[in-house]
Amino acid sequence: MCVAAIGQVMEIKGTRALCSFRGAMKETSIVLVPKVEVGHYVVVHAGFATEILKDLPGYYRNTVATDAYARQLLDAIATKCIELQGRPIRIMNFCGSHEHTITQFGLRGLLPDNINLVSGPGCPVCVTPISEIYLAMDVCQKYDVILTVYGDMLTIPTPRGSLEQWRAEGANIRLVSDINQALQLARQVKQQVVHFAVGFETTAPSTGAAIMEATDMTNFSIISSHRLTLPAMEYVLSTSSIDAVICPGNVAMVTGSEPFEKIFEKYRLPLIITGFEPIDVIEAVLKVVCQLRENASSLENQYSRVVRNTGNPTAKQILAQVFQAENAPWRGLPTLPESRLVLKNIYEKFNAESKFGLQKSQVVPETEETCCCAEVLRGEKQPKDCPYFDKECTPEKPKGPCMTTTEGACKIRYASYPR
């Protein structure tokens, strides 16, 4: 009752706001903060937003900088870096939630200067190719359907506009926070409901479970843009200079550690499966510098309180039963082998692409960029290196996908960028 949470306002509907609490969406009353705007961070208590946080970065930085255990870890990292003679260390994360923690809590500024924390292609919305967004647009344009999408997908820019612009122009596009809401909508209407399913291994099992639950429904289908993390990780490690990887603990929670063991055997770099609290990330960095100091790389599970070696057997079984992997392009990356999850033939009736005869456009500028999102996704540039960052490109007028979603590196950095 007395615990307050901090959420970001994503959408305002009268006296109610849809707030994101580190990705979990919840409606909140905003009658006590009438001046709140989309994008603001609010303190929520007992269902009511009670205050707007003015200096969110400072608030979070202080929670780490004043923590005794965090200070011990940071001091140990500094000592190891001295022993490494200030050797430059590039550590890449493959999860938008890790990037959010790193930036929100000011970890880059707390670590020694020789440690460079780099964001990779860990935002599923950012890497969704334009050709698959066009599939969602085509089904809205050609058929009388209700398209359900997650909020972050609405503002992704394409040469044909964004789904948000299409909705404003009359397309029947509904915002949902999970696929169960789309399934429930399909049960309530006779109209065809198409869900734009996006996410990595953490989201795909829920899509698979919904497909299995739909059974005899005839007015429900999906466009699957689910992606697998490991093909992207392998591509980046094979093409970039990375010294270590902070592996996404949420993915490992589903898959277990075995897939990461295969990556380690091939590249022999420190791989640390990590949780999402600031202490988790700092502990992971300490494990990296300790391994480099001892010249003995290994795969370590820092997130053992959640991640089992075998993963989640039920989630893995659902993935194996419902999906198969196919070669697919990523935004900012080339076509990666067996990296997109699509429905198996036994669930073909739920495949909107075949159900509505949708065809991917063969002339889509997947690699054409008006900003540096592709380089940011590959870890080649930081958001601030883009000439448009915080100028022509803002969350209100994004030029690329990394500035549109709460898991995008550019939008995350924008929220804490000094102005």
pLDDT in tens, 102-117: 998 999 999 999 999 9
pLDDT of the residue at 362 = 59
pLDDT of the residue at 4 = 75
Q: Tell me the average pLDDT across 413-417.
A: 83
pLDDT of the residue at 365 = 57
Q: Tell me the average pLDDT across 394-404.
A: 92
pLDDT of the residue at 65 = 77
Judged on CB neighbours under 10 Å (0-12, 13-18, 19+), 309 is exposed
Query: Which percentage of the chain shows pLDDT scores above 90?
Result: 82
Residue 327, pLDDT > 90, answer yes
- CA-to-CA dists, residue 380 to 92, 266, 384, 406, 408, angstroms: 11, 22, 12, 20, 15
Q: Tell me the average pLDDT across 354-383.
A: 81
pLDDT of the residue at 254 = 97
DSSP states of 80-114 as a string? HHHHTTT--EEEEE--HHHHHHHHHTTHHHHS-TT
- Strands 192-199 and 220-227, bridge-based pairing: parallel
Q: What does the alpha-carbon distance between residue 310 and residue 288 come to, in Å, rounded to a whole number?
A: 23
pLDDT of the residue at 236 = 95
30-57 burial, b for 16+ CB within 10 Å, e for fewer? beebeebeeebbbbbbeeebeebeeebb
Q: Tell me the average pLDDT across 119-126.
A: 95
Q: What does the alpha-carbon distance between residue 228 and residue 238 come to, in Å, rounded to a whole number?
A: 17
Q: What does the alpha-carbon distance between residue 232 and residue 263 come to, in Å, rounded to a whole number?
A: 11
pLDDT of the residue at 60 = 75
pLDDT of the residue at 399 = 92
List of residues 6+ apart from 190 with CB closer than 8 A = 219
pLDDT in tens, 75-84: 999 999 999 9
Query: Which percentage of the chain shows pLDDT scores above 70?
Result: 96
pLDDT of the residue at 56 = 72
List of residues 6+ apart from 63 with CB closer than 8 A = 105, 278
Q: Tell me the average pLDDT across 157-163.
A: 93
pLDDT of the residue at 2 = 57
Residue 210, pLDDT > 70, answer yes
Token digits of residue 239: 């093409």
Block residue for tokens 């999402």? 276
Strand partners, 336: 328
Q: 2 or 45: which carries more pLDDT confidence?
A: 45
List of residues 6+ apart from 229 with CB closer than 8 A = 94, 122, 200, 201, 248, 251
pLDDT of the residue at 367 = 45
Residue 214, pLDDT > 70, answer yes
pLDDT of the residue at 419 = 54
Q: Tell me the average pLDDT across 354-367.
A: 74
Q: What does the alpha-carbon distance between residue 414 and residue 383 come to, in Å, rounded to a whole number?
A: 8
Mean pLDDT (the chain) is 92
Residue 168, pLDDT > 70, answer yes
Q: Tell me the average pLDDT across 324-333.
A: 95
pLDDT in tens, 268-320: 999 999 999 999 999 999 999 999 999 999 999 999 999 999 999 999 999 99
pLDDT in tens, 7-34: 889 889 999 999 988 767 889 999 999 9
Domains of the chain with bracketed CATH: 5-54 (2.30.30.140), 56-361 (3.40.50.11740), 370-416 (no CATH)
Residue 126, pLDDT > 80, answer yes
**Angle, helices 96-104/409-416, rounded to nearest 10 degrees:** 10
Q: Are 49 and 32 in contact (CB under 8 A)?
A: yes
pLDDT of the residue at 129 = 94
pLDDT of the residue at 20 = 84
Query: Cβ atoms within 10 A of the Cβ of 294, count?
Result: 10
Residue 167, pLDDT > 80, answer yes
Residue 328, pLDDT > 50, answer yes
Residue 368, pLDDT > 60, answer no
